[in-house]
Each structure stands twice: as structure tokens, then as C-alpha cells.
């Protein structure tokens, strides 16, 4: 029986980055299990003009190991695109380009196993002094598999989220995660309404503006008071740092929740260039006889019904405190994603720390087990570590911390301080001795 040092469950960019950093380490045996048949990163939103909101240095490995053969620059060199990327003079890769890079990296790893849908995780005290038995099923063949590991890294990602008023709708209503899949259907509709506040909503609305017939009624509804641009100033970027994460973690839970709610513009906003692009599209459209699009702010959808032909939306205007109605033939809900506790953890739930809302409580090492050493999470710690959790730029740093905890030494140096500013109350300054 083979007992791995690490069993990773799920394969998004974070666990893929961990696999890349673990690959050259001679003292580490890892396996990563993925339910799908191949790596795929947000396939429904790989729009032709969409770019990452982080620079290329926030790839799978570079901020932990700039010499790694799994870097984005190594990928560009191998596929013959390094000089075109250099001449382009943009730090921000295309989203499709990033997906292709991740697939390239996945193809070069020996530790990945696809078609492994994990069904349960159990603690087996009799195996090698104690190990986790990870049971999975091949979705295509039904074949059962078991992998044992001393450590688990949960990288199952987040799930599409629908607010209560927009859940379980009949008819042509789709979450933004399926946009490209249903795009042709949407373009054939007489009117389309996009509901959402962030980057995905803006990208979809921009794409519809560019592609829909002039007589199609397009509408963008957001409950935000305005179309918030992503705040991207340098001192604000320092909040995506180990120091700020530690400061956030030190706050009481209720204060963390309030702080997160106030920080939506720091990680849920729209890139400034895209905001300007949408305005330019609206301006050009206004010079034609095309049907004017409708953009509504501070409008929250409180109910929705479908009569077999059209949706009837009930909305509450949060500034005027008025209720009004809109009808539309198709809906795209760009309402984000949420972390969920996977059912396969039920057999080991007693080994994990939970908060009063049933969420795992992550330590400074990203462990969630009571012993603080064997179960790690990736992007499931927003409520404990702050908005750095989903940030691609912090993925390599978090993986460096995880590897150090697993191995007992740092194969990749872990930065403790990267920001110029201080968060929280500063340490007392030493008193000068008078001479």
C-alpha cells in the first residue's frame, strides 16, 4: 500500500501551482485528484478579449520560485510566444492564454490523476500510524479508487452562487459560468438582462454590446450604487500581503465580516479599462439607431417568476426605497461564487475546526484540523484570512507556507514582510537614551 505525503483534492490554479512546486522536491510524494477529464479554468468565461486582473508574475510558481520550469515565461518560450508577449508590452495575460498555460503545466506533471471524483475521506488509524483514505470514482467507468495520504490539501474551489430570488428558475436563465456555452442562444433573444456587479457582469455586457443585433434590448442591473472600478493603487495592493492577512486574521470574527463587506471594490470590482470600454461602446451605439441599452444601479432583484415566455423581475431600489418590475426574455446572473463544504468531508468532520456558521477555521498555516498539521485549504479561508484568499498573486506564497508545514523546512523561502505600511497598532519604538 502506497501512502502519499500529500493527497490534493481538486485541481484549480492553486492546487496546480502546489503540484508544480512539489514536482522537483525529492523528499515529497504527492498525488492530486481531479473529477474532470482534463484541466479547465472557467471555460464559460474565456472571452476573446478578456484579460487577467493580475500581472503575469502571479502565475503558478514565479513568486515562490522565479527559476521554476513551470513559469508563465517558460511556457511562452516553449510555445514560441515570448517575443510577441514582450512586444505587446502588457503585464496582463489574456484569460485564454492563462488557461492554455495551466493546461501546458498540467501536461508536464506526473502527480495528477484525472477522472477521480472524490466521494469520501476517512481517517484510518491502522495505516502507517494514521492516514487519510481518499475514496474516488471514475465518472465515466464507475471504477472505484482509494489513495492514502498523511496530509490533505483541499482545492475544490468555489461554486456558482445564485441569490435566493434567482435560484431554481425555469426557462433561459444561466449563471455567468456558462456564458460561452449559451451565448448563441442569448444572442437569438429579443432582450437580455445581465444581473451582477463585478468583472464577469461587465465582460458579458460588453460582449453582448459588441455582438447583439441593434434591435435587441440589453439591460444591466446591479444592486451596487454604481459600477465600481477595481481599486488598483499601489498602497492598496499592499493589502494582498502576508502582513495584512495576519492582521485580518487577528480581528474578531464579526469585525472581519464587516471589513470584508466594505472591501468589495478591492477584489470584486471591474477593471477601469473595461468600465471605460463599456462607456465607449455605449457612446458609439448612441450614434446609431440601435435600441438604447438600460443600465440600472442600486436595484436589487427581490423576486423572479417565469410564465413560460418571459421573466418578471421584482426589484427594490435601495436609494429611493421603491419597488418596480421589469420583464425580460433571458437572464444572465453574474452573481459570483461561494465556498462550500464538500460532502466527502463528513466522515472526518470531527477532525476539523468549524466556526458558528459551519465554515472551516484556517490557521496561519492554512490548516483546518485540530492538530494544525494535516488538512489544508486553498481559497476556502476568505472569512479568516481576508480577500487575499482568492487572489492568484498570493497562491504561490500560500503554497510555500503549506509545503513548509508539511516538510518541516522551507523548500521555498516564505516572505514575512513585503509591505511598506503597517496594519494594526504599531509596535512600541525603543526609547532613546539621552547622552
Which pLDDT tens digit goes with each residue over 369-419? 999 999 999 999 999 999 999 999 999 999 999 999 999 999 999 998 999
pTM of the shown model = 0.94
Contact 118, 133 (CB under 8 A): no
Q: Provide the pLDDT confidence category of residue 47 given band limits of 50, 70 and 90.
A: very high
Count H helices and E strands in the chain, helices first: 13, 17
Contact 397, 405 (CB under 8 A): no
18 phi and psi angles, rounded to 5 deg: -65, -40
Q: What is the pLDDT of residue 129?
A: 84
Q: Which residues of 41-55 are buried (b: 16+ CB within 10 A; e: fewer)?
A: bbebbbbeebbbbbe
Calpha distance 386→158 (Å, rounded): 15
Contact residues for 14 (Cβ-Cβ < 8 A; gap 6+): 155, 378, 379, 395, 398, 399
**Does 430 have pLDDT greater than 90?**
no
Q: What angle do CA 247, 250, 254 make, to 5 degrees?
A: 110
Which residues on neighbouring strands pair with residue 67, listed in sequence order? none
409 burial via Cβ count (<10 Å: 0-12, 13-18, 19+)? exposed
Cell numbers found for residue 338: 461561494
Q: For the chain, first and last CA: distance in Å?
A: 71
**Does 141 have pLDDT greater than 90?**
yes
Q: Provide the pLDDT confidence category of residue 432 given band limits of 50, 70 and 90.
A: low
Q: What is the pLDDT of residue 117?
A: 98
Strands (E), 225-279: none
Q: Provide the pLDDT confidence category of residue 427 given band limits of 50, 70 and 90.
A: confident
Chain segment 91-103, per-residue pLDDT in tens: 999 999 999 999 9
CA dihedral 38, 39, 45, 51 (to 10 degrees): -140
Give me the long-range contacts of 126-130 (CB less than 8 A, separation at least 24). 127/1, 127/3, 128/3
Contact 203, 278 (CB under 8 A): no
Cell numbers found for residue 418: 513585503
Q: What is the pLDDT of residue 434?
A: 57
Q: Provide the pLDDT confidence category of residue 435 given band limits of 50, 70 and 90.
A: low
Cell numbers found for residue 175: 449563471
Contact 369, 210 (CB under 8 A): no
Contact residues for 370 (Cβ-Cβ < 8 A; gap 6+): 351, 352, 353
Match 505587446 to its residue by C-alpha cell.
88
* Greater pLDDT, 290 or 433: 290
Instruction: Map out the domains of the chain with their CATH numbers.
Output: 3-159+337-407 (3.50.50.60), 162-230+269-334 (3.50.50.60)
Q: How far is residue 21 from each of residues 62, 98, 108, 201, 219, measured CA to CA in Å? A: 10, 18, 12, 34, 44
Q: How far is residue 223 from each of residues 313, 316, 334, measured CA to CA in Å? A: 13, 9, 12
CA 326 centroid distance within chain: 31
Amino acid at each position: 500500500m502506497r501512502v502519499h505525503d500529500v493527497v490534493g483534492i481538486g485541481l484549480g490554479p492553486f492546487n496546480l501551482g502546489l503540484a508544480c512546486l512539489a514536482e522537483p522536491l525529492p523528499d515529497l510524494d504527492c498525488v492530486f485528484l481531479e473529477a474532470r477529464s482534463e484541466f479547465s479554468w472557467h471555460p464559460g468565461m474565456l472571452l476573446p478579449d478578456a484579460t487577467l486582473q493580475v500581472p503575469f508574475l502571479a502565475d503558478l510558481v514565479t513568486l515562490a520560485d522565479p527559476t521554476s520550469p513551470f513559469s508563465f515565461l517558460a511556457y511562452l518560450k516553449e510555445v514560441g510566444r515570448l517575443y510577441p508577449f514582450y512586444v505587446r508590452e502588457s503585464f496582463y495575460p489574456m484569460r485564454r492564454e492563462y488557461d492554455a498555460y495551466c493546461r501546458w503545466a498540467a501536461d508536464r506533471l506526473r502527480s495528477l490523476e484525472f477522472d477521480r471524483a472524490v466521494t469520501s475521506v476517512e481517517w484510518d488509524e491502522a495505516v502507517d500510524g494514521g492516514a487519510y483514505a481518499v475514496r474516488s470514482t471514475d465518472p465515466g467507468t464507475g471504477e472505484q479508487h482509494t489513495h492514502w495520504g498523511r496530509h490533505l490539501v483541499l482545492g475544490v474551489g468555489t461554486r456558482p452562487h445564485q441569490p435566493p430570488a434567482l435560484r431554481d428558475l425555469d426557462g433561459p436563465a444561466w449563471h455567468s459560468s456558462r456564458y460561452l456555452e449559451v451565448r448563441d442562444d442569448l444572442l437569438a433573444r429579443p432582450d437580455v438582462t445581465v444581473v451582477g456587479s463585478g468583472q464577469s457582469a461587465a465582460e458579458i455586457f460588453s460582449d453582448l454590446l459588441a455582438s447583439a443585433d441593434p434591435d435587441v434590448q440589453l439591460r444591466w442591473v446591479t444592486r451596487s450604487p454604481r459600477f465600481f472600478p477595481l481599486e488598483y493603487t499601489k498602497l492598496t495592493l499592499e493589502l494582498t500581503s502576508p502582513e495584512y492577512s495576519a492582521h485580518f486574521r487577528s480581528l474578531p470574527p464579526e469585525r472581519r465580516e464587516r471589513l470584508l463587506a466594505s472591501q468589495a471594490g478591492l477584489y470584486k470590482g471591474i477593471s477601469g479599462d473595461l468600465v471605460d470600454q463599456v462607456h465607449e461602446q455605449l457612446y458609439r451605439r448612441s450614434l446609431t439607431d440601435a435600441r438604447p441599452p438600460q443600465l440600472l444601479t442600486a436595484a436589487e432583484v427581490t423576486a423572479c417568476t417565469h410564465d413560460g415566455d418571459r421573466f418578471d423581475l421584482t426589484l427594490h431600489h435601495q436609494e429611493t426605497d421603491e419597488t418596480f418590475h421589469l420583464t425580460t426574455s433571458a437572464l444572465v446572473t453574474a452573481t459570483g461564487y461561494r465556498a462550500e463544504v464538500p460532502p466527502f468531508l463528513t466522515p472526518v468532520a470531527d477532525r476539523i475546526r468549524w466556526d458558528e456558521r459551519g465554515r472551516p477555521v484556517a490557521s496561519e498555516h492554512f490548516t483546518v484540523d485540530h492538530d494544525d498539521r494535516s488538512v489544508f485549504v486553498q481559497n476556502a479561508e476568505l472569512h479568516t484570512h481576508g480577500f487575499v484568499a482568492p487572489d492568484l498573486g498570493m497562491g504561490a506564497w500560500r503554497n510555500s507556507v503549506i509545503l513548509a508545514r508539511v516538510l518541516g523546512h522551507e523548500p521555498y523561502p516564505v516572505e514575512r514582510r513585503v509591505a511598506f505600511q503597517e496594519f494594526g497598532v504599531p509596535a512600541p519604538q525603543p526609547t532613546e537614551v539621552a547622552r
